[in-house]
Amino acid sequence: MKRLIPLTLLAAALLAGCATGKLSTAERLALYRAHAGEPVKDFRYLGHLNGWTPVGDSALAVWTKPNEAYLLEFAGRCQDLEYAAAISITQFANRVNARFDDVLPVGPGTSSIKIPCRIDTIRPLDVKALRASEKELREASAVERQAKP
């Protein structure tokens, strides 16, 4: 029950953000954090991702399997993350470790000087709940657009 109250407040704030049709970076980060579990020290990484999405310039969601994802938060700002065409993640023995491994944004939208982004925390995402919340927000946004004259 205690967890339900913050989620309800978050949903109200996010629905207010939907009035513009797009969530702000802070709202998107709040949505992902609301669906993230407790921090873990590492996750298994076999050299390829099912997907990834920047969540502002200080966090990144990565999908290792269709129904397995992690929220990676950085120690500071990650330069060029939002403009990267791809990312590279360091690892050792097929494990990505918080406070030891980095994310490198790559591609034509990034600067020539590659600055690694140190992973500060790793939190598993509840993918089903995240998708359900995103769907609700899209539907609420569509209803609101239809209601406007």
**Contact status, residue 66 vs residue 52, Cβ threshold 8 Å:** no
pLDDT tens for the 149 residues of the chain, in order: 445 444 444 444 444 444 445 788 899 999 999 999 999 999 999 989 999 999 999 999 999 999 999 999 999 999 999 889 999 999 999 999 999 999 999 988 788 888 899 999 999 999 999 999 988 888 876 666 666 66
Could you tell me the two tokens for 8? 């309800």
**Contact status, residue 139 vs residue 14, Cβ threshold 8 Å:** no
CA–CA distance, 146 with 35 (Å, rounded to integer): 29
Specify the pLDDT at position 111. 80
CA–CA distance, 68 with 125 (Å, rounded to integer): 7
Contacts of 113 (CB under 8 A, 6+ apart): none
Give the predicted TM-score (pTM) of the model: 0.81
